[in-house]
Structure 1
Amino acid sequence: MAATTSKATRTLTDENFQREVEDAQQPVLVDVWAEWCGPCRLVGPVIDEVAEQFAGRAVVGKLDADANPQTAASLKVSALPTVLVYRDGEVIDRIIGVQSKDRYAGALQKALG
């Protein structure tokens, strides 16, 4: 399942999204997923690996779109999985569908500068 499995990966919710993502001092990668989404199950472990790789330098979190519909709607997510990369509270990259670990890590590295 795409649920959080890495200690380095944060669980994001409607309640904590602004604090954890929009107000973050570090770049943030957000994996928007759902339990029923087959491709999300492929991406989940890859996102956990990226979280471990960037631990201490960036925030990596997962948002269950079904459990947090308000935030998912505000992000204009139309397909799952969708990965968003934030810098200074703004989306700087939107990755839709299953991609390689290098694609996700590269987007986060770019956000670091």
Structure 2
Amino acid sequence: MSFTVEKHFCGQILVDLAIFSEAETCGMEMHMASSEEKSEDSCCKEQKISVEGQKDLKLSFDQLDFPQQVFISFFAYSYIDLFEGLPEMVVPFKDYSPPLLVRDVQLLDQTFLI
């Protein structure tokens, strides 16, 4: 993937920065006819940077060395394991029965909700 970055400077100050489009001007440059060249004494200047992308973006698993293959294998194994959920919610106290109530604890301790 390649892209273009355009910058418009007015003097030493960056006025506009545009990616994938043309930079807007500051409005200070003189309007000239299309046949005339820009004058050398203009304070504005344009800077255009083009970044070329790779032609072959797909990297084969065979082109990686052994430690990289091991890292990718373990990373994929541990990452996939994050999304596997439990089949059902495990309730650890499902088979636990509460103790028998011998005395009323609230009356014994004299604690009441008001």
Structure 1 length-normalised TM: 0.18
Structure 2 length-normalised TM: 0.18
Kindly indicate whether structure 1 or structure 2 has the higher relative contact order, using CA contacts under 8 Å at least 6 residues apart.
Answer: 1
Higher relative strand content: 1
Higher relative helix content: 1
